[in-house]
Structure 1
Amino acid sequence: MKFFLTRILWIFSILMAPLSFSSLNAHAETTRPNFVFIIADDVSPDDLACYAKSPAKTPNIDRLAAEGRLFERAYLTCSSCSPTRCSIITGRYPHNTGAPELHMPLPAGQFMFPQALREAGYFTVLAGKNHMGPAVDAAFDEITPPAGPGGEQRWVRHLRERPKDKPFFMWFASTDAHREWQATDADPKYDPADVVVPPFLIDGPETRQDLAHYYHEISRLDRFIGNVVEELKRQGIAENTYVIFTADNGRPFPRCKTRLYDSGVRTPFIVWRPGTIAPGKTESIISVIDLAPTLLQLAGVPLDPRLQGVSIEPILADPAATVRDYAFSEHNWHVGQAHERSVRDGRWLYIRNAYPEIRSECVESGPEFPAGKELWDYQAAGKLNADQGDIFLQPRPREEFYDVQADPQQLKNLLDPAKNPELGSALQQEYENPHMRLSKLLDQWTAETGDTVPKNPTPGVPVTGRGQGMDAGFQHQELPGATKNASSINAPGPVRDTTSLKP
């Protein structure tokens, strides 16, 4: 009898083992955190009520900000669509990705953090705007193109149809608020009289109407973000899901998109997970290349040595924590030729321009667009004020240096006697040392990351051409960093201020 009972228990254990293992494994998988990454197209933080006094109605984004961690000093590595996205997915600077210029596909073989998540058992989706090329197919289980005017209409469906036995990473990419404008009846319309016109644009009827259309698209994006959050709550998985919201570059207006001022590379960045992240704002500096190591760390996935960013997990736990003291950004070919580099700390912004003889324009600066048209009309009439002529400067300053605290729009170049009449006086001593310090830091970053100035750069296209440089026969020429094989360099350059760190 004892032998018989032992035999029965042994057979039962064998039959139940796969079921038990499967149940335990499914439990382990579903308790790992999920991630929803939402990236807007051409949105500046100053146009969101949670960041500034904006009339744009964004109740869902504002709620994420109020309930999660809002980053006041989050910066892009590039204010240009495809280079930014390739930078985010690899956790590397644009000239280190092999795709530093607009419309360049990410080369095969680069590290991609969604692929690392996928290989670790995550279900991964890219829904909406891709703009990174076919190499990213390896990083996602599913890729669906934009659906609807803003490209967001498949987001909730992916959450509902996902496999329920795996943690997931969803990359939701809208086309809001990219031009051309598309209006919908479900979202707020704005009175041009209510918009906030930046001081470097013309406060005129065409610019105000242009901004009103832009606000409308931001509100549409906000509605879909609300739908995503409600679906997470409906499924009972909000407490186990990180929602991250950011944008790929600044608003699609002159002196914003493509530029290295706050209007171009300062980005909204909000991280929300109820019950895990306590509400609060942080002044700590982060870069979008920090997203990749952060999500991998939160998922328990080893960090790849090719990552140039650092994890911001300490700031999610404590808004006073610091993970970096400097943020670096670059401006490469985006229809127009460009090679600008910047470095910033908490107060100062330093920009270096390798092509000062060229105007700094982007497509949205052209007279074909309303805000651009008013600038061109005023310029032709000789009516521009001192803050509105930036896109017409030729030559431009080779160096720019700003006190961002005193000059949040970066309108007073402290190295320009015309902008700073006190230059050379005792006042200069206040910023001479930080100027030289940031200049040396940029030199160090340039050398360590393998950045170079192309001798045979990709040709530019006039903003009035609207061809976006992609006519028949067009091809990119020498890329920044190419002569030093920067796409194989992993050094991140300076991250922390080693002179002030405690031993």
Structure 2
Amino acid sequence: MLAALAAAAIGSARGEAAKGKPNILFLLSDDQSYPYLGAYGSKSVRTPNLDRLAGQGMRFDSMFVTCPQCVPSRASLMTGRSPVSVRMVRFTSPLPADVVGLPDLLRKEAGYFTGVGGRTYHLDGPPAQGDRGAPVTNDVIERYNLRDFKNRVDYMEKGGPARWKTYGDHLTAFLDAAPKEKPWFFWLGYNDPHHPWNTVGKQGAVDPAKVEVPGDMPDLPGVREDLAKYAGEVEHLDDDVQSVLDVLQARGLADDTLVVFMGDNGMAFPLGKGALHDRGIRVPLLVRWPGVVAPGTATGDLVSGEDFAPTLLEAVGVAPPKSMSGRSYLKLLRGEPYEKRAHIFAERGPHGGDGGMKPDVSAATFDLARCVRSDRYKLIYNCTPHQPYGPVDSQKGPAWQAILQAHREGKLAPKFERAYFTNPRPTYELYDLQSDPDEMNNLAGKPEVAEAENKLKAALTEKMILDWDFLPLPVR
């Protein structure tokens, strides 16, 4: 009885603290492309828990991160700016101390208790220890005291994987540390569905024969094998998300908490992670906010990863600083009229650790590219087109190996040959997403789309100038 009363008192105190300033639970999956949730109509995955969460709030159908890679994308989410503008295009860069971020402002301007847990947040440079080895880089970072994220949050999770039986345990530990009188922000990162794909959900393994093969991938046994493994990881993630939402409910905090679920970048498949095609930058986004966001709503409006921080700041009554180029979609969440985006932008840079350029480097490791996308058209600007294409992380897996084998044997359809094996790649790629959602028919340079191409080049040029981008501009 006393325990129940104590729990009720905790919930009441936190509920009072959250009035006008909701608690914020940010759940970030790793390498999850749209549409890999049942709520988006995918028949490849079984995700009842995330589908239920989508039904309790707003589902975003056109959410685009600013980079198809984890570090730069997360930098944008935390700063409301592009990776280029905050100097975070290289994986081994720590987030600069002079760049203001979401956790800083929530704590300093709105009195939030802030924390981060789960999978690494990726914003402090390479691991300080471990077998991945970056001795020179780490020496410089340590000598100049560049690891700054600890100064942005009140709570940094400690303890290895053995400490956590469920993902709900991460939230439990954070809530136990949080002051009862303050609203809180907790960023919880998931491992799934990051490659390698070696987990499955409670419903068991996914049958390769039942997965949907996207139109820009050949229907080969190896492709189906990898898609089934990926689906299993998403289903495992679905169970892990529910373990966190169960803790929120048990603590009496569900009604006072704004829950955001999204992916950090796309899946490690061909034209996915590391690529500026939609599979690399289009991710799921679900927002549940009881009493504010109407349940069962959805939007197809373009939203950028740059918009995340400004939106949460406005949601708690803090004006986003002028340095943030992102645009708040708080009015959209409230169902109010607002001016929607005409374009989203994304960039691609080096992938993974450093260690010097090699003569046979592929685009999987190093590629410099930018893109701009409207509702209908997308322009990709390839500034290093001579590197041969290769997928990030999964080059040795069954899918890419099956594609390579079919290529060597001359059995790939022409559209797949063009997509994967054109070398050099075109400097410009232009896709009409209305007639070609798979982004397979490059229209760049064709007279009938010249007006659309020129408008996108102009929009991208403006963005690159305002972000102090180091690459050559697409137009003068």
Normalised by the length of structure 1, the TM-score is 0.78
**Per-residue displacement from partner, 1:104-144 (whole Å, max 9, x unpaired)?**
32222221111211223211111112211132111222222
- Aligned counterpart, 1:179: 195
SS of corresponding position for 1:251: coil
Unaligned runs of 5+ in 1: 1-23, 417-422, 455-479, 481-503
1:197: Cα distance to partner?
Answer: 1.5
The reply to whether residue 271 of structure 1 matches residue 287 of structure 2 is yes
Structure 2 residue 156 is matched with structure 1 residue 140: no
For residues 25 and 61 of structure 1, the distance between their equivalents in structure 2, rounded to whole angstroms, comes to: 28
Q: Once the 2 structures are TM-superposed, how far is the Cα of residue 177 of structure 1 from its aligned partner?
A: 0.6
Which amino acid in the other structure matches residue 157 of structure 2? T
Does 2:366 align with 1:375?
A: no
Q: Answer whether contact 1:239 1:276 (CA < 8 A) is retained.
A: no
What is the alpha-carbon distance in structure 2 between the residues aligned to residue 337 and residue 53 of structure 1? 32
Q: Residue 395 and residue 27 in structure 1: after superposition, are their counterparts in 2 closer, same or farther (change >3 A)? A: closer
Match of 1:108 in 2: 97
SS of structure 2 residue aligned to 1:46 = coil
How much has 1:172 moved relative to structure 2? 0.8
| Aligned equivalent of 1:311 | 328
Which residue number in structure 2 is paired with residue 121 of structure 1?
111
> What is the one-letter code of the residue matched to 2:430?
F
- Give 1:151 shift: 8.5
Q: What is the 5 A alignment of 1:82-101?
A: 82-101=71-90
Distance in 1 (CA, whole Å) between partners of 2:281 and 2:47 is 21
Between the aligned partners of 1:184 and 1:72, the Cα distance in structure 2 is 25
Measured in 2, the distance between the counterparts of 1:247 and 1:181 equals 16
Aligned to 2:271: 255
State yes or no: 1:155 paired with 2:170. Answer: yes
Matched, 1:204 2:220: yes
In structure 2, what is the Cα distance between the partners aligned to 1:42 and 1:287? Answer: 16
1:239 and 2:265 are equivalent in the alignment: no
Task: Give the Å deviation of 1:411.
Answer: 1.0
Partner of 1:302: 319
2:40 maps to 1:51: yes
1:69 maps to 2:58: yes
1:382 Cα deviation after fit: 1.4
User: What is the CA-CA distance between 1:449 and the residue it aligns to?
Assistant: 1.4
Q: Where does residue 351 of structure 1 map in the other structure?
A: 380
1:442 aligns with: 460
Unaligned runs of 5+ in 2: 1-11, 125-146, 353-364
What amino acid does structure 2 have at the position aligned with 1:354?
A: C
Q: CA deviation at 1:50?
A: 1.2
Rounded to whole Å, the distance in 2 between the matches of 1:159 and 1:77 is 29
Counterpart-to-counterpart distance in 2, 1:283 and 1:319 = 15
User: Could you say if the C-alpha distance between residues 299 and 319 of structure 1 is closer, same or farther in structure 2, counting changes exceeding 3 Å?
Assistant: closer
CA contact (8 A) 2:63 2:304 kept: yes
Farther off after superposition, 218-227 or 318-327: 318-327
Q: Distance in 2 between matches of 1:302 and 1:439?
A: 31
How many angstroms apart in 1 are the aligned matches of 2:27 and 2:315? 17
- Give me the CA root mean square deviation: 2.4
Mapping 1:319-338, distance limit 5 Å: 321-334=338-351, 336-338=365-367
Aligned mates of 1:108, 1:122 — CA distance in 2: 20
Say if 1:349 and 1:402, in contact at 8 Å, map to a contact too: yes
> Quick one: structure 1 residues 194 and 150, their matched pair in 2 at CA, closer, same or farther if it must change by over 3 Å?
farther
When normalised by structure 2's length, the TM-score is: 0.83
User: In percent, how many aligned pairs have the same letter?
Assistant: 32
Deviates more, 1:289-298 or 1:194-203: 194-203
CA deviation after TM superposition for structure 1 residue 233, in Å: 2.2
The answer to whether the Cα contact below 8 Å between 1:151 and 1:173 also exists between their aligned partners in 2 is no
Q: Indicate whether 1:394 and 2:382 are aligned.
A: no
Tell me how many residue pairs correspond in the alignment.
420
Decide which moves more: 154-163 or 384-393. 154-163
Over 3 Å counting, the alpha-carbon distance change for 1:84 and 1:242 in structure 2 is: same
1:220 corresponds, among 193, 218, 236, to 236
| Closer/same/farther in 2, CA of residues 144 and 340 from structure 1, 3 Å limit | same
Question: d(CA) in 1 for partners of 2:200 and 2:292?
Answer: 36
Deviations 1:414-439 (A, max 9, x none): 127xxxxxx55xxx1xx321211111
1:29 partnered with 2:17: yes
Helix, strand or coil at the partner of 1:437: helix
1:191 and 2:207 aligned: yes
Instruction: Decide whether the 8 Å contact of 2:57 with 2:289 is kept in 1.
Output: yes
The 1:321/1:386 distance shift into structure 2, 3 A limit, reads farther
Q: Which amino acid aligns with 1:270?
A: L
Asked if the contact 2:15/2:253 (under 8 Å) is kept, the reply is: no
Distance 1:415 1:323 in 2: 26
* Rounded Cα–Cα distance in structure 2 between residues aligned with 1:26 and 1:185: 33
Decide whether the 8 Å contact of 1:29 with 1:165 is kept in 2.
Answer: yes
Describe the SS at the equivalent of 1:39.
strand
Q: Quote the residue 2:389 is aligned against.
A: 360
C-alpha separation in 2, matches of 1:294 and 1:409: 30
Greater Cα offset, 149-158 or 341-350: 149-158
Residues 159 and 356 of structure 1, relative CA distance in 2, 3 Å threshold: same
- Structure number, greater radius of gyration: 1
